Structure 1
Amino acid sequence: MAEEGPDVLLKARERTLSVFREDVEQKWKGPFYFIQGADPQFGLMKAYSIGDCSSGGDEWEEEHLLTQQAVQAINRLSPRPKFFVLCGDLVHGMPGTPWRKAQTRDLKDILKGVSRDIPVVFVSGNHDLGNAPTPETIEDYCQEWGDDYFSFWVGGVFFLVLNTQLYFDASKCPELKQAQDAWLDRQLAVAEEKQCQHVVVFQHIPLFRKDPNEAHDYFNLDESIRRELLGKFHKAGVKAVFSGHYHRNGGGTHNGLDMVVSSAIGCQLGEDTHGLRVVAVTPEKITHRYYSLDEMSNHQGIEKELTALMKPN
């Protein structure tokens, strides 16, 4: 079993990540990049193959191997990414279901293999909290993986991590949604006041899959909440929102905001490949590209493209 290092499986506490010192990281130091992944979701591939996605999934060997491949590819990258963010649905077993504990243990064992100088940032998804979360399921997640919402600075960029289940269905914990709403308003006020190079949001459920005017369904947020968040994000200068949940690549733009929907490390529900997204941050813009895990494993090719991506205009 891999040994957990100080910067690996770091848990957000008190609504921030201590590994990134705010007094140091508020200053722009030059272009950098990070890796975004989503939905390793240990157990879904078996459940999906037998047509019973409501089950916890009693096998996850495929997801195990795919996540190992992702970690190995990330560890070979040079220069190093600033961090690796996982945008939710870490395991498939819902709270209280069989196999959840074993899925969580196996995923953690793999993620402990991420190089110690690449912090892993966790975002909560619906399978991590339940489709209609409760105070108990959120507390269990926080104990296991860290805070369900928080903010941090890296290289002059302000990052916000949201719990989108509180926007999807907070009927069993309305007071927790109110708390996140108040916290988000405070963070967006900070974003307006500070001279951020960029403001970026990570969440599990996308605001929209492809079109900001599309109808609400399982894979996006309700139109009223979507409009509210889009308005707040625009006012605060949010440049991009990165999500998962769709198990396909998607996304679009609205008022200068880039809604990025990344497909899964694990089970694919469309024609995309298992993969990761490389996100380059320059003074002027944020650019990104989704790579298959096989492409990521060819790290020399990725590094050449990274050099081009991070080249300022």
Structure 2
Amino acid sequence: MAGDESVFLRAKDRKYKGLTEDEQKEWSGPFYFIQAADPQLGLMKAWRIGDCDSGGDEWTEEVQLTKQAVQAINKLQPRPRFLVLCGDLVHAMPGVKAVFSGHYHRNAGGCYDGLDMVVSSAVGCQLGDDAHGVRVVVVTKDDIIHRYHSLDQLTQRGMDEDLKKLLV
């Protein structure tokens, strides 16, 4: 990732600086990217104790390995063009009240046994009637409050005031 510019500031106006069609349509020589998979937080303890259904309540080992991977990748020269993370992100979710996901390209979800499954619609291509947007998730000591905001709403008014008040 070239220059001192933060990688998170390179995405703007539905484009990612350095990876636009105009900049990439002509072959400019070899490059590489990193493909990582399955940090699967919680699996190592579950596997070790032989309880893969409910034994993944500790993530320490996987978090350390993930940090090691990030540090190693950040030291690579030349820098990779990008990183793709595939596979299972978590195996077990100790104390988790909600799981947030996408891929359905519309808002959906449900609740089972005290665990909320929240599916957020897409920033990009919509397959339902939802507006292009993002989900704002506020985490307080006692609760998780989330609401889908259209990109137009977020741009013009920001997040809902009642959500802001929870942050003070």
TM-score, normalised to structure 2, is 0.54
Q: Which has the larger radius of gyration?
A: 2
Query: How many Å apart are 1:258 and its aligned residue?
Result: 1.1
Partner of residue 260, structure 1: 118
Q: In the TM superposition, what whole-angstrom CA distance separates every residue of 1:167-217 from its partner, at most 9, and x where no partner exists? A: xxxxxxxxxxxxxx84483793316xxxxxxxxxxx999xxxxxxxxxxxx
Partner of residue 189, structure 1: 57
| Unmatched segments (≥5 aa) in structure 1 | 10-63, 72-103, 110-142, 152-159, 161-180, 192-202, 206-228
Give distance in 2, aligned partners of 1:265 and 1:4: 27
Partner of residue 241, structure 1: 99
Look up the SS of the partner of 1:190 in the other structure: coil
Greater helix share, structure number: 1
Give distance in 2, aligned partners of 1:184 and 1:266: 37
Query: How many Å apart are 1:279 and its aligned residue?
Result: 0.7
Is 1:144 aligned with 2:29? no
Give distance in 2, aligned partners of 1:271 and 1:8: 29
Query: Mapping of 1:1-313 within 5 angstroms?
Result: 3=3, 5=5, 8=8, 65=13, 67=14, 105-106=19-20, 144=33, 147-150=36-39, 182-183=43-44, 185=46, 188-190=56-58, 232-233=92-93, 236-299=94-157, 301-302=158-159, 304-310=161-167
Cα distance 1:244–1:5, how it changes in 2: closer, same or farther (>3 A)?
same
Give distance in 1, aligned partners of 2:154 and 2:103: 21
Give distance in 1, aligned partners of 2:138 and 2:128: 26
| Unmatched segments (≥5 aa) in structure 2 | 24-31, 48-54, 60-84
Total equivalences in the alignment: 121
Query: How many Å apart are 1:275 and its aligned residue?
Result: 0.3
Cα distance 1:292–1:3, how it changes in 2: closer, same or farther (>3 A)?
farther
RMSD (Å) for aligned C-alpha atoms = 4.1
Q: In the TM superposition, what whole-angstrom CA distance separates every residue of 1:88-130 from its partner, at most 9, and x where no partner exists? A: xxxxxxxxxxxxxxxx9239x9xxxxxxxxxxxxxxxxxxxxx
Give distance in 2, aligned partners of 1:204 and 1:252: 24
